[in-house]
Structure 1
Amino acid sequence: MTKLEGTQKLMRIFIGENDKYEGRPLYKSLVELCREKGVAGATVIRGIYGYGASSVIHSSRTLALSNDLPLIVEVVDSEEKINNILPEIDKMIGHGLITLEVAHVIKYE
């Protein structure tokens, strides 16, 4: 086993489950863009309870089961790769939030 450590950029994209891009789920389009551009990895995380700027609570526990739960697309790669795909991501997102931060990454191979 090899252990690699280093500093990378972590991008989190906060969107809704029902958000679309060109008729397709936005989260799928974002992950596919990352893959096409050679980004190291992207993961979609589904929120079970939360609210955003609208202050509307979204919950997976309601009787009707919300079909617009919050999603977070997490992407980790070099600052250069993240910065290169940001202009394309900007064109895809109608509503949402992106956070960028430095991440100390430990990778095991």
Structure 2
Amino acid sequence: MTFEELTQNKPTLEWKQRMDEEDDIFTDENIHATNKVLDSYISSLKELGDMPTEEAILECVKEVVIQLNELNDKYDYFIETMEREELAEFIEEGAKIVGLKSEEDITEEWREW
């Protein structure tokens, strides 16, 4: 997967569709805010360069998870089981693009959702 493909496969695209189908945990505001956080994550990964250290990659992961924790709190806990899985998969895919090799849930250490 590439960063372009990752950008085109953000979980928020499915969330928007679910919102349009009357799923009331989503709002334009929480989807927009989540998009900004995910875009920032992609940018921070791109800035790492060609051979980032595992520590540098995990720092990006930590930052995006903490930002998502804050959004989840701000928007009345809209990240539930399905959303958690979608976000974790997205974050892990981004980390793999820049070279992280891990079979574990790399979001779990900081995740509150």
**Between Structure 1 and Structure 2, whose CA radius of gyration is higher?**
1
| Structure 1 length-normalised TM | 0.32
| Structure 2 length-normalised TM | 0.31
Higher-RCO chain (CA-CA 8 Å, sequence separation at least 6) = 1
